[in-house]
A = this chain, B = another copy of it.
């Protein structure tokens, strides 16, 4: 193992000069720097991580708390995880992945042992225990999603309420007066209450204000249940001209396939909007216009929020990202 001493000797300088040259924390003459760079390259020197952690103030590791719920949509989950890793690497941080058994104790473990500089929290629910854990430990942390009590916490999320209103507006602008909704499974709603309810409430309010008829159903992950919901929509909202999906990709596929089998043409008969979609709506059989879930942006924001705290900032707060609309042609004007 190559140490800083060997680099110093090879470059003919002291170890502190090597350290400063590498950290850039003080001015080094061009010639000295060149000699050090050369020695580093020749010896293929890599500073020892443990030593840096011990001597320095930071570990350059972020913990990622990403517990997997029973009914989680794994692709979305994976996208969040990947996005956090990419964002962290952009800040020269590595990511330590905490899974199920570690919901609360895991965070304490890695924070208390100074294994990580901060924590990024995914899959946040309204009554999330991790909020209290973070508050108590005083750890640098950022939540992707909004817990019930956000006091003292840094959170980032899509503005789901605004996304709900924007969904109605997009369809209303095209003349739609009767909109069906397929939402996340009811079990989801109960637990993650946060974002789903924010979306649904705002959506309903906007419909009411605009005098638009609407019916929202929350089928389970069972395919038959999903087809049943599609039929119910057709029956309960006979003059439905638009459909909003606020659910995961497989449900969208199943419901659309069923509608097609029932003779409903998309988008000729029914316009469709994929709201807060975490998947690529362009890869579906019928590309769907969408208000995407900006998960890269959310994860990037969370990582930056956490890193900022590591760097000493103390400015907690909730950041709500504005929804954006992407037209893929699945919304047609009502004749």
Which chain B residues border A97 with CB–CB below 8 Å?
64, 81, 85, 94-97
Q: Which chain A residues (69-111) contact chain B, with CB distance < 8 Å?
A: 74-75, 77-79, 81-82, 85-86, 89, 94-102, 109-110
CA distance A101 to B86 in the complex (A): 8
A interface secondary structure, majority: helix
Contact B53 A49 (CB under 8 A): yes
Q: Is A51 part of the contact surface with B, judged by Cβ < 8 Å?
A: yes
Which chain B residues border A61 with CB–CB below 8 Å?
96
Contact B50 A114 (CB under 8 A): yes
Contact B89 A49 (CB under 8 A): no
Q: Which chain A residues (201-226) contact chain B, with CB distance < 8 Å?
A: 223-224
Q: Is A113 part of the contact surface with B, judged by Cβ < 8 Å?
A: yes
Contact A115 B49 (CB under 8 A): yes
Interface mask (A43-63 → B, CB under 8 Å = 1, otherwise 0): 010111111111000010100
| Residue count of chain A within 8 Å CB distance of chain B | 47
Contact B110 A94 (CB under 8 A): yes
Q: A89-B102, A101-B86, A257-B257 are in contact. Are A1 and B114 (CB under 8 A)?
A: yes
Identify which of B46, B51, B96 contacts A54 (C-beta below 8 A).
B51
Tell me the minimal C-beta distance from A225 to chain B in angstroms. 11
Chain A interfacial positions (CB closer than 8 Å to B):
1, 44, 46-54, 59, 61, 64, 68, 74-75, 77-79, 81-82, 85-86, 89, 94-102, 109-110, 112-115, 223-224, 250, 253, 257, 261, 285
11 A-B pairs (CB sep. < 8 Å): A44-B112, A49-B50, A53-B53, A68-B82, A74-B79, A78-B81, A86-B101, A89-B99, A89-B101, A224-B285, A250-B250
Apart from A89-B101, A89-B102, 8 more pairs, CB < 8 Å: A50-B52, A50-B53, A50-B114, A53-B53, A54-B54, A89-B99, A96-B97, A250-B250
